Structure formats: C-alpha cells, structure tokens
Chain A
Amino acid sequence: MDCRERASQVSRASGRLRVEGASASLAGAAAEAGRTTSPGQDCRAPTARPPERSGDHGVPASDGERGSGGTKSPGQEINRRAFLEQAGRFIILTGAASLAWDYVLAGTPQAAPNYVATDHWWGMIIDIDKCIGCGNCVRACKAENDVPTDEPGCYRTWVERYQVRPNDMEHPIVDSPNGAYDGFPEIDKPGDGVKVFFVPKLCNHCAHSPCVQVCPVGATFESPDGVVLVDKDRCLGCRYCVQACPYGCRYIDPRTHTVDKCTLCYHRITKGLTTACCEACPTGARQLVDLKNPADPVHEFMRTHKVHVLKPNLATGAKAFYSGLDGSVR
C-alpha cells in the first residue's frame, strides 16, 4: 500500500482526527514511502511545500516529537485543513526529506538524519596492480575496529602474497605472515619466472551470504544497504557462520566469544567517511564503492576496467570487486 492510499484511508476513517493517531499512521506511511523514495523526489520536494506552513515548525526536540508536526500537544484535535496540510507534507516530502526539512528550516541541515540505508548499496573495488603489500590497511583496520593484535587468526582484512610459477596456476605459494600486519619479508629463493602479486582480502559483503543463511538466531544479516553485519548481543558463538563463509572472513573474538568480521566500517560509511583501510591505503588500491550512487567516481573505474569477484561459481553475490585478479587466487 502506498502512502497516498494510506493517508486517504486515514482521512476517510474519521472526519476529526486526533493528532496522535494521525501522526502515527502518517509516520508509518512516511516510513514506508521513505523506503521506496528515489533521491530525485527528495531533491525537488522542498520547493513543492506550501509556503504558509513555514512559520509553525520548531526544531524537533526529540525523536518522539519529530514527525508529529506542528506545536499542538498530543491528543489535541486538529481540523481538516491542518490534517490535509500535514498529509500533503508527508506525501510530497516523503519520509526522510520530511524529517530533514525540519532541520533545514532550523538552519542546521547538517544535523538531519539524512542517511537512508536503501539509497546505498556498498561494495569495494580492489586494484591488485596497485597493491604493494605494505600492510597499512591491516594495521588501520585493527586500530579502527579494536581487533586483537596479539591473538592469532583475528583479521577483518588481511593481505595475501601469491607466487605463481609459469604454467602452474593451480599450485600457487600463498603466504600472509600475521595477515601482513608487519608487511612481508623478502622472498628467500624466488623461482625462475615466478609471478608475485598481493591480494588484499576482506569480507565480500555478499548479497546472498552463506554465513547469513546458516545463522540460527538471526545474529548476522545483510543490512538494507548491502553490508553484512553482526549483532553481538544476539550471537551465541556457535561458529556455524565461520564454517559457512567460503572466503574465511570470520573469526571468533577471543574476548567476547562472539563472531566478528569486517563491517565495511559501517560506523564510518554511514557518516559519509570512507573505510579505515581505504583511508590508510597509500596507493589507492582499495576504494569504497556505492553501487547505487552513479555520481560515485568509482563507477567510472567499474565501467572502464575488467573486474572480477572471488569464487563467482558459488553465486554468493560478492561485492568485493577485484581488478587484475589472477586465476590462481582462491
């Protein structure tokens, strides 16, 4: 049901409405509409707003007050005109734009809760030709996300070094000492014609994640913006997802005995920042990509380079795209 139908149902249901009921239904309708709103609608919405309404909106003081609209106290009856104005506002400004508009009027647009998860679809592109194996990303990730440095096997991201002999793609020599936290030692005796390259690895944030499918308690999930996250309060530490992940991207945090993994720095990307590993990469080998935002310059990269995902045969919908990936990489 779209918000138009819903609003008209509300107005049919009773001629004189109470503010509480109206705002609750409308907030619901707006939330529903917000999930299907395109950015274009949001952009032109403010101009479409009736100008005479601009006076009676203060800054919303709390979440509860936000969206109730107007200065009337809860329970107070409103007339048809006020209701239609509110309904019109929610229909035209739909969801997030409506919430943000209060802040725009108050002169603090930066404080508006503008992040709409469904407007994004996050992934990462990794340019293997640019990776120099310095391990800066691994160190940055551990610093940002409080990943244990003294326990073995705790990596949200790590870098592997591949040595591939000519005509022997099936037997590469792979090493990743301490996940490349301290970079790589020199190769002792490189064979003749051996090809060496570095492959940064992280959670592929699969759209159809095997790890999510096996979780018995709903403690791990694909967020609406395409990031595979863990709910640490719900995780039992059963390790089922650790086994299910075909990329080996999960580990058990020895301190909490719950599972931990790359969150694609969800606390950063939702604030408009890039991930810690991308922040620290000196060569730009890793770049965060918003696949739903055509203005993201990384789209140009995706369009002009041949990219590949790991283990495409598993149909996991992986969103870590590798450019220059060798066939020996697993």
Chain B
Amino acid sequence: MRERFRHVEHVFRAALLFVGGFALFLVVRWALVPADFGVYGFYRAGALADNQALPLRYAGQAPCLDCHADVAETRKDSRHARINCEACHGPLARHATGDFEIKPKALNPRLLCLQCHTQALGKPATLPQIVAVDHAPEGPCIACHKPHRPKID
C-alpha cells in the first residue's frame, strides 16, 4: 500500500499545505472583518447607528416655541418670522432639553445684523441692504430696529 502511494506523496503534502493556508485565511478573515460587515452592502452596518448617535447641538425650531410663544407672537407677521431662532441665537439643544444654566450667548447686534444686511453685489433686491457708515454710523441697530420685528412702526 505504502509502495503504491510513494510517488504521489508530494500531492498530499501540497494539499495539506493548501488546506492549512485556507484555514489560516479563514481565521485571519474572521478576526479582521467585523461581524456586521456586509449586511446592507460593502460596509459595517453598525456605522449607520454610529452616525445616528452623534450629539445634537441645534435643537430645532419646535422646542423654542414651546416656551417662548411670546416671541413667536411678536414676530408673527414680521419679515423675520421665518428665520429660525437658532439662526441668530446659536445652537441651544442643551438649553432646549432642560439645562437652563446654558443661556443663549450674548449677541453683537451690529455684527449680526450687518452679516446679512450690508449692501453687497449678489444679494437679491428684495433683501433690505444698507451701507452701515451712511445708514447709522454710530448707533447700534437695535436703537431703532427690534430684531424680532425689524420694521419701524
């Protein structure tokens, strides 16, 4: 029997090597590829949850109006009514979720107003635009215009 297989032993050795190599490949692959890889596509399914779990900084408009309905009333028919609160007051998710120690940061009205209302090429004609040094060289904008209801009655 042994005599019979003497000349094909090298085939068995090669096969053994191949099987061993394949097993090693499987072990390495098992160790390196995450379990949820490939569930939806060529990526780790858990990455979707990772991206969803990031913290919010902006609360969105609805929670603001829950408490500050008076401001909503003030700017109801003003041109600033459609601007979300956090567009000017900054990200306030922690404030909106009950941490009232976090206050909206103090705003510099002059800088804030001019960010949009400085006269410049490229802005639509419907946007009220001013040249600050001509319009109001000194005073803060809020001396005349109330930000929530900018039109002077």
State yes or no: do A and B come from one complex. yes
Write the residues of chain A forming the contact surface with B, with a CB cutoff of 8 angstroms. 117, 129-130, 132-136, 140, 143-145, 161, 163, 183-184, 186-187, 190, 194, 196-198, 218-224, 229-234, 263, 266-268, 270-271, 273-274, 276, 279-284
Q: Cα distance A219–B42 when bound, in Å? A: 9
Q: In chain B between 120 and 137, which residues have their CB closer than 8 angstroms to a CB of chain A?
A: 120-124, 127
Closest to B120 in A: A186
Q: Is the CB of A129 within 8 A of B54?
A: no
B81 to chain A, nearest CB (A): 11
What are the 7 tightest A-B residue pairs by CB atom distance, in nearest-first order? A196-B122, A231-B47, A221-B43, A196-B121, A267-B54, A218-B42, A266-B51
Q: Is the CB of A234 within 8 A of B47?
A: yes
Residues of chain B with a CB closer than 8 A to A230's CB? 47, 51
Closest to B62 in A: A273
Q: Cα distance A95–B75 when bound, in Å? A: 44
Given known A-B contacts A117-B48, A218-B37, A229-B51, A274 and B60 have beta carbons under 8 A apart: yes
Given known A-B contacts A136-B115, A231-B43, A279-B58, A130 and B51 have beta carbons under 8 A apart: no
Residues of chain A with a CB closer than 8 A to B84's CB? 279-280
Residues of chain A with a CB closer than 8 A to B60's CB? 268, 273-274, 279
Q: Is the CB of A187 within 8 A of B53?
A: no
New contact pairs (19) apart from A134-B116, A223-B40, CB-CB < 8 Å: A133-B120, A134-B115, A136-B87, A140-B91, A143-B90, A145-B54, A163-B121, A187-B120, A196-B121, A221-B40, A234-B43, A234-B44, A266-B48, A266-B54, A267-B52, A268-B60, A276-B57, A282-B87, A282-B116
Q: Is the CB of B48 within 8 A of A223?
A: yes
In-complex Cβ contact of A132 among B48, B50, B86, B124 (8 A): B124
21 pairs, CB–CB < 8 Å, chain A vs chain B: A130-B124, A132-B127, A133-B120, A135-B115, A140-B86, A140-B87, A183-B115, A184-B120, A187-B120, A190-B121, A221-B40, A230-B47, A234-B43, A263-B51, A267-B51, A267-B54, A267-B55, A268-B56, A276-B91, A279-B60, A283-B127
Closest to B84 in A: A279
Q: Is the CB of B41 within 8 A of A221?
A: yes
Interchain Cβ contacts within 8 Å, total number: 115
Q: Cα distance A283–B91 when bound, in Å? A: 18
Q: Is the CB of A273 within 8 A of B56?
A: yes
- The yes or no answer to B74 lying at the interface (CB within 8 A) is no
Q: Cα distance A291–B82 when bound, in Å? A: 23
B43 to chain A, nearest CB (A): 4
Given known A-B contacts A143-B57, A144-B58, A267-B55, A233 and B122 have beta carbons under 8 A apart: no
Q: Cα distance A183–B60 when bound, in Å? A: 23
- The yes or no answer to B142 lying at the interface (CB within 8 A) is no
Closest to A267 in B: B54
B72 to chain A, nearest CB (A): 16
- The yes or no answer to B24 lying at the interface (CB within 8 A) is no
Q: Cα distance A223–B44 when bound, in Å? A: 11
Q: Cα distance A261–B26 when bound, in Å? A: 34
Q: Cα distance A221–B41 when bound, in Å? A: 8
B55 to chain A, nearest CB (A): 7
Q: What 1/0 flags go to B102-119 for Cβ under 8 Å of A? A: 000000000000011010
Closest to A135 in B: B115
Q: Is the CB of B122 within 8 A of A133?
A: yes
B56 to chain A, nearest CB (A): 6
- The yes or no answer to B71 lying at the interface (CB within 8 A) is no
Q: What 1/0 flags go to B59-93 for Cβ under 8 Å of A? A: 01100000000000000000000111011001100
Closest to A232 in B: B50
A151 to chain B, nearest CB (A): 19
Residues of chain B with a CB closer than 8 A to A184's CB? 120
Q: Is the CB of B122 within 8 A of A161?
A: yes
Given known A-B contacts A136-B115, A161-B122, A196-B122, A280 and B58 have beta carbons under 8 A apart: yes
Q: Cα distance A117–B41 when bound, in Å? A: 14
In-complex Cβ contact of A224 among B40, B56, B91 (8 A): B40
Closest to A184 in B: B120
Q: Cα distance A280–B127 when bound, in Å? A: 17
Q: Is the CB of B44 within 8 A of A129?
A: no
Residues of chain A with a CB closer than 8 A to B57's CB? 143-144, 276
A48 to chain B, nearest CB (A): 29
Q: Is the CB of B87 within 8 A of A229?
A: no
Q: Is the CB of A279 within 8 A of B43?
A: no
